[in-house]
């Protein structure tokens, strides 16, 4: 009997577990093998909807469900706790529960799908915890806290007081710019509906090399008049919405009402705020990898940020990095029975062009690996584990240079008057070996905005919540 252990139950880990259970059942192997999932909390959180939680338009319970119920239905064992050590030579993991109980779990195959550690300490004063001065929408508690502070801002505005609002990224190496952009647009439209927008000086502060870059080096779309890119599109929105912007910047310190930042040119600036939502950079969860002799081999298994190295080509300069260098199977480069998916895997490099200021400060957006992208690589990793159980070599690819990217950015949550920006691109990571020039199939890329996008965003919320709870016909939802 093979024991399969999955650490993390976000998009990659949870859908990977569902895929494993389904495939083993279809092959008549379910009773012969054991799947166990460990997660830091009892719930699955549909992260894309935290944007709405963060302005008080959705209760967190609407984007959560109990994992234990789903896993019981699928015949998957489940533990709530934190893995703190992996012993890959001896094939076991050590986890700790909330009651400080330590549990040893053996495995034959391991999938690391931990998601990120939110690295707020990278910028002094960043975040809602530990004496920080800014808000976050990265977790349900953070989003609820952000909504409370946002509604306090609304109360102040309703008394006729003007305010400065800053939304964006809180460090030069942040990722998930799209989520911050989505929050920015939702705040703009909510304030507009309340008749308060004219009282707010709204600023976008980001480490992107260009507007609309979003850590994916932007998007180009073929139109009847030529090529339109996301920079033009987003700039047009900003100008129409009277949103200020400051890009190519690294936030180096935050005080009670002031953000201090450095530009790529090396200039040091500061800006006042009454309300700020700035995303943190990510790093790997604090998990140590221990060899049979007791030595710490974490630096061998993981990159310096703590993400697991997989079947990618590492060490290339940005200019030389291309589609074939991105991982396909998500199999560890050191241990063939270990896989890593979602944010937990180490990318071969950035998608957006990195920069360094004259002061030596790195301003380089990290590649996003969330949501649909996480699900695709978790799916591929799960199928490759099934391959190995059957005595075959891993045969399934979930390469970001071979799969599409999809971002549906809510701008106004309403089924009647709402709108959303829909961005589709293929592939997610530029692949100039296959698509000379832009590295993408421009005919398969699109940028649009409108009410239908709002419907699509709402549909995705309910469709994925249905699918990920393994409800009837869940397999029919991509």
**Residue 71 pLDDT class (50, 70, 90 cuts):** very high
Neighbours of 151 (CB within 10 A): 12
Cβ–Cβ < 8 Å for 454, 415: yes
What the block records as the tokens of 364 is 């380089």
Q: What is the mean pLDDT of residues 74-94?
A: 98
pLDDT score at 416: 81
Q: What is the pLDDT of residues 313-323, one digit of tens each?
A: 999 999 999 99
Q: What is the mean pLDDT of residues 371-392?
A: 96
pLDDT score at 406: 86
pLDDT at position 96 over 90: yes
Q: What is the mean pLDDT of residues 102-123?
A: 97
Overall size of the chain counted in residues: 478
pLDDT score at 131: 92
Domain ranges of the chain: 3-118+282-389
Provide CATH code, domain 3-118+282-389. 3.50.50.60
The rounded distance, in Å, linking the Cα atoms of 124 and 238 is 29
pLDDT score at 225: 79
C-alpha 200: how far from chain center: 29
Q: Which of 125-134, 208-217, 226-235, 269-278 shows the lowest per-residue confidence on average (mean pLDDT)?
A: 226-235
Q: Is 123 helix (H, G, I), strand (E, B) or coil?
A: coil
Q: What is the mean pLDDT of residues 438-462?
A: 91
Beta-carbon contacts of residue 246 (< 8 Å; ≥ 6 apart): 203, 204, 205, 206, 261, 263, 269, 271
pLDDT score at 412: 85
Residue predicted with more confidence, 92 or 227: 92
The C-alpha R_g of the chain, in whole angstroms, comes to 22
pLDDT score at 418: 85
pLDDT at position 407 over 90: no
pTM score of the predicted model: 0.96
Q: What is the pLDDT of residues 35-56, one digit of tens each?
A: 999 999 999 999 999 999 999 9
Residue predicted with more confidence, 127 or 227: 127
Q: What is the mean pLDDT of residues 100-119?
A: 96
Show the DSSP H helices in 242-285 as ranges. Answer: none
Q: What is the pLDDT of residues 182-191, one digit of tens each?
A: 999 999 999 9
pLDDT at position 310 over 90: yes
pLDDT score at 129: 92
Q: What angle do CA 364, 223, 367 make, to 5 degrees?
A: 20
What the block records as the tokens of 445 is 């890329």
Tell me the pLDDT of the chain averaged across its residues.
96
pLDDT score at 17: 98
Q: What is the mean pLDDT of residues 177-185?
A: 95
């Amino acid at each position: 009997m093979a024991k399969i252990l999955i650490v993390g139950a976000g998009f990659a880990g949870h859908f990977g577990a569902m895929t494993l259970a389904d495939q083993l059942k279809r092959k008549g192997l379910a009773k012969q093998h054991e799947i166990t999932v460990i997660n830091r909390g009892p719930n699955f959180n549909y992260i894309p909807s935290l944007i709405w939680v963060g302005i008080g338009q959705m209760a967190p319970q609407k984007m959560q469900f109990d994992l234990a119920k789903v896993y019981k239905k699928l015949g998957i064992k489940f533990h709530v706790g934190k893995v703190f050590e992996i012993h890959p030579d001896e094939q076991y993991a050590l986890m700790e529960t909330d009651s400080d109980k330590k549990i040893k779990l053996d495995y034959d195959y391991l999938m690391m799908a931990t998601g990120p550690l939110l690295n707020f300490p990278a910028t002094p004063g960043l975040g809602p915890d530990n004496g920080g001065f800014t808000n976050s929408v990265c977790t349900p508690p953070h989003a609820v806290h952000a909504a409370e502070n946002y509604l306090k801002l609304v109360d102040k505005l309703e008394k006729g007081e003007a305010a400065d609002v800053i939304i964006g990224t809180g460090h030069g190496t942040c990722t998930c710019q799209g989520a911050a952009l989505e929050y920015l647009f939702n705040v703009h439209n909510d304030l507009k509906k309340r008749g308060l927008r004219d009282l707010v000086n709204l600023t976008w502060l980001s480490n992107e090399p260009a507007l609309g870059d979003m850590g994916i080096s932007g998007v180009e779309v073929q139109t009847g008049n030529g090529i339109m890119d996301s920079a033009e599109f987003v700039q047009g929105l900003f100008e129409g919405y009277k949103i200020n912007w400051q890009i190519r910047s690294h936030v180096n310190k935050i005080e009670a009402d002031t953000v201090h930042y450095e530009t790529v040119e090396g200039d040091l600036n500061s800006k006042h705020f009454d309300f700020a939502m700035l995303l943190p950079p990510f790093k790997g969860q604090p998990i140590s990898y221990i060899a049979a002799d007791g030595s710490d081999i974490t630096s061998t298994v993981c990159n310096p940020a703590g993400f697991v190295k997989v079947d990618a080509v590492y060490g290339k300069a940005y200019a030389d990095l291309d589609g074939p260098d991105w991982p396909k199977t998500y199999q560890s480069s050191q241990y063939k029975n270990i896989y890593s998916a979602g944010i937990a895997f180490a990318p071969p490099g950035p998608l957006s062009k990195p920069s360094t200021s004259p002061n030596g400060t790195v301003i380089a957006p990290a590649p996003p690996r969330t949501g649909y992208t996480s699900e695709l690589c978790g799916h591929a990793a799960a199928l490759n584990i099934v391959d190995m159980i059957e005595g075959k070599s891993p045969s399934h690819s979930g390469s970001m240079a071979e799969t599409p990217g999809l971002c549906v950015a809510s701008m106004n949550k309403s089924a009647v008057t709402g709108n959303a920006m829909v961005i589709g691109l293929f592939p997610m990571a530029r692949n100039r070996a296959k698509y000379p020039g832009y590295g993408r199939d421009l005919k398969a890329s699109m940028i649009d905005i409108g009410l239908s996008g709002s419907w699509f965003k709402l549909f995705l919320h309910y469709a994925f919540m249905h699918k990920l709870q393994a409800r009837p016909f869940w397999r029919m939802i991509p």
